[in-house]
A = this chain, B = another copy of it.
């Protein structure tokens, strides 16, 4: 398997990217291509002992920054580490791409360069989140701010294949994020989506109220990208705020400081459990390639895990399974 990694994406590029690639190559024996300024990437690589046959560099002199207008950046920076990497997937020179660069540019690039699976109207950004009782997926988490009801049905099928193939959970439960448990609750989108989901061959468990999302009792949660992004960012925001505030209060007195010390293993286990880095990146599902968006603040471990995620995706032929569903069973509804 060949994975191309955008060498210049993310807050800690190229250092964290290169280190993650070396770690992953050693552990999973995949072929890795790193795009970016050749000299710079090589300088980083030479810090490690690595297999020169299995880690290659493809020179790319430009970098797309998160502040640039996505489509314009893709069109004008053909020699960027991100565009070069996307083109390799399009041209079948790589089986998967990982980037921690601009989310907007990466998602637009996947759609415009790698292109959609036939039958898919909108690909979906589908991160895996740590839940109390298990991992759960939010689809869509921000790629499509406005959705039509049948997009959510496509997200559900894509999420199902991902859960089965990558996480090994058979016939995962599918829920519709909604502001009420009853079928008739919600907005125009969710009322219609509920009806459509009921008619699909899915393990559809109905509406899931946002307060129940964090438990992880339902595997795949579908919604429009605005709601999904709101849920995702509230999750990060509230958890971060609470832990910061606890820390602040613990430092307030000697008694509580000692309590805090005794609880260190608890806080550590907690932090590990809520660590997105364990889950690699967010898959962008519905495009004709294995496309993984790593978190902007990814460290070497996160890149290593994203490569592992791409490998499991590849080994289990998840892309072919997705194509089978949409190219054969469902027409393009638009």
A residues sitting closer than 8 Å to B (CB atoms) are: 132, 142, 145-146, 177, 179, 186-188, 190, 209-215, 224-227, 229-246, 249-250, 252-253, 255-256, 258-263, 265-266, 269-270
Contacts and interface: CB of A to CB of B under 8 A. Distances in A.
Contact of A256 (B212, B245, B262): B262
B188 A214 contact: no
Contacts of A241: 132, 214-215
A66 B259 CA distance: 43
Question: 7 tightest CB-CB pairs across the interface, nearest first?
Answer: A259-B262, A211-B237, A210-B233, A145-B187, A234-B234, A259-B263, A211-B233
A189 to B, nearest CB: 8
A270 B241 CA distance: 12
Given A246-B266, A252-B266, A233 B259 contact: no
A269 B226 CA distance: 34
A295 to B, nearest CB: 13
Q: Decide if the interface of chain A is mainly helix, strand, loop or mixed.
A: helix
A210 B255 CA distance: 35
Nearest to A273: B245
A210 B234 contact: yes
A238 B131 CA distance: 10
Contacts of A224: 187
Contacts of A227: 226-227, 230
Instruction: Count this chain's copies in the assembly.
Output: 2
B229 A246 contact: no
A146 B209 CA distance: 17
Contact of A226 (B146, B179, B244, B252): B179
Contacts of A229: 179, 210
A145 B132 CA distance: 28
B210 A179 contact: no
A114 to B, nearest CB: 23
A249 B229 CA distance: 29
A263 B255 CA distance: 8
A235 B234 contact: yes
Q: Max chain B CB contacts within 10 Å: which of A213, A233, A250?
A: A233
Nearest to A240: B211
Contacts of A244: 132
A304 B27 CA distance: 62
A259 B266 CA distance: 10
Nearest to A249: B266
Nearest to A229: B179
Contacts of A238: 214, 234-235, 238-239, 242
